[in-house]
Structure 1
Amino acid sequence: MPANPRFLMCPPTHFAVDYVINPWMEGNLHSTDPARAQSQWSALHEVLSGLARIDLVAPGEDLPDMPFTANAGLVLGDVFVPSRFRHAQRRGEEALFTEWFAQQGFAIRQLPADMDFEGAGDALLDREAPRLWLGHGHRSDAGIAQEIAAMFDLETIALRLSDPRFYHLDTCFCPLSGGWLLYYPPAFDAEAVGAIASRIPESRRIAVSEQDALAFACNAVNIGTTVVVNRASGELKATLAKAGFEVIETPLDEFLKAGGAAKCLTLRLDER
């Protein structure tokens, strides 16, 4: 673990639910409270600032989902692989994020133009082994796994997401320090569940309840032995404590209206 972890966040200046591109947005059109969203984002920023360095990217007008910086792309070392969003409503973010990373000195590597990929929303590094988990089925194409494996000479495991409520991998799957895994098995098809079980020992897998999954407990930011979440049940907090983790809850229900929480609102910049 680097001594000074680094994350990218984007202020929710233009955050809103102005369209429907996932099940969480249904019924929430134009229902967000800007002041509440800002307050919740600021509280998350304050918590994370005590644990890591936070960089900011300027929000783009007419891009209400841009605060979900996890979807900007994949960061590995000094390389940034920009996303290619499936939905037209988010494609305006691509150039802004790419420009920011180029200005920061990252090398930009592009994926094939005809493939969808939604960054660290669907591409998560294991915290113990040299492997990357790639979620597909709703937003990212399965073939991205082969592209990334070849690009970085890194084992990449494709996991098919089967429940549309968990449309990105980071909504239901969170690798933790020490080789632990926080996840919601019903979000995956049988083959994906088997792929996970064959690589992560049962003793290191923490399966959450549907209640915790729907509170986006798996959409967590893990820094060392700290796990920052929107909300977690007492049972889950006790299980994580037994595994050596401290849970910090910071309410993000305003962002759940758009289908995101703590992890969605951050992008790790010092991945090795």
Structure 2
Amino acid sequence: MTANRWFIDSETGHLDDVLLCPPTYYDWIPSNDIAVLSLENGLKPEHHAVQKQFDEMVDCLRSAGVTCHFLTPQPGLPYQVYTRDSSQTTPFGTVVTSLFRHERKDEKAQIEAFYGAGEIWKTAGKGTAGGHVEGGDIHVIRPGLLAVGVTGTRTDTAGAREFTGWFDEAGWQTRMIRFSDHFLHLDVVFTMVAENLALVAPDALADADLDWFRDQGIRLLPVTYKEAMRDMACNVLALGDGRVVSPRHSTRVNAMLRAEGLTVLDPELDQFSQGGGSIHCMTMPLRRRSLLRG
């Protein structure tokens, strides 16, 4: 790595830059339980609505002062729009992750083209242990604190151990959070919304892990199973400064966030949630202001 334009040390610092991908080739495929249920119910994405909702999300981010950067969408990559998974910004440089699903592996080429070799700090899965780790499972909670979800599929123990090891070497406290792959990624059941405040689907995580979050001073706002899986209600994006982007259809959760004093921006995103993702999945923060700088 010869340059490091991008930096985050938390999930909640003021967001300046984000990586997105237009949904040109977006589709639902039966690769996760949410999309499977949508397809079994006879639903399918409406491509005009998909593009309209994506544009609304971009307008929402830009109205909040976020600079949007875009990958070039490629045919045959229906979930490239979920940029959260294919790379991870860190305080030390960019990590190219190791995607599990075969239909997503070719996303790596566009990620490497966007960053360039000089901006890539690490490439996951290249060690002797191999393994997979995806950005939806990685939570840089705050400076010095990292959680990585492990389902054994999209992120497995080897991949999580490699990723957390890089932070361990830097003196961070890290924890692997194990849960069922029914929930896809950690950001389906846990996401920070503000400093020391998170949404969580408590029935999806072990009591010991919930206690660990609380021991770190994180207050947990409960989300039901239906809200997490039907609405992707945990899958929100903190913008910093008491602002959060949350899908419009998550009405109860949005009311709960507003009751906490947060400003909620609520674009319509149901075309994406029914395919197994939402605003957190669709965004990779490239630059956040450090929480250590006030």
With normalisation by structure 2, the TM-score equals 0.82
1:11 and 1:244, CA in 2 relative to 1: closer, same or farther beyond 3 A?
Answer: same
Match of 1:80 in 2: 94
Question: Where do residues 1-272 of structure 1 align in structure 2 (5 Å cutoff)?
Answer: 5-17=16-28, 19-29=29-39, 31-51=44-64, 52-77=66-91, 79-102=93-116, 105-113=118-126, 114-119=130-135, 121-127=136-142, 129-137=143-151, 138-152=153-167, 153=170, 154-162=172-180, 164=182, 166-201=183-218, 204-213=219-228, 214-224=230-240, 225-231=242-248, 233-271=250-288
Note if contact 1:146-1:156 (Cα within 8 Å) is conserved in structure 2: no
Match of 2:5 in 1: none
Note if contact 2:235-2:278 (Cα within 8 Å) is conserved in structure 1: yes
* Deviations 1:121-146 (CA, angstroms, capped at 9, x unpaired): 1101114x521110111410133343
* Deviations 1:205-251 (CA, angstroms, capped at 9, x unpaired): 21123343231121001112111111365543343223221112211
Counterpart AA for 2:232: F
Note if contact 1:7-1:266 (Cα within 8 Å) is conserved in structure 2: yes
CA distance in 2, matches of 1:109, 1:31: 37
1:254 offset after TM fit, Å?
Answer: 0.9
CA distance in 2, matches of 1:60, 1:100: 13
1:92 and 1:185, CA in 2 relative to 1: closer, same or farther beyond 3 A?
Answer: same
1:28 offset after TM fit, Å?
Answer: 4.2
CA RMSD after TM alignment: 2.2
SS of equivalent residue, structure 1 residue 49: helix
Count residues with an aligned counterpart.
Answer: 265
1:191 and 1:163, CA in 2 relative to 1: closer, same or farther beyond 3 A?
Answer: farther
Q: Which runs of 5+ in 1 are unaligned?
A: none
CA distance in 1, matches of 2:100, 2:15: 33
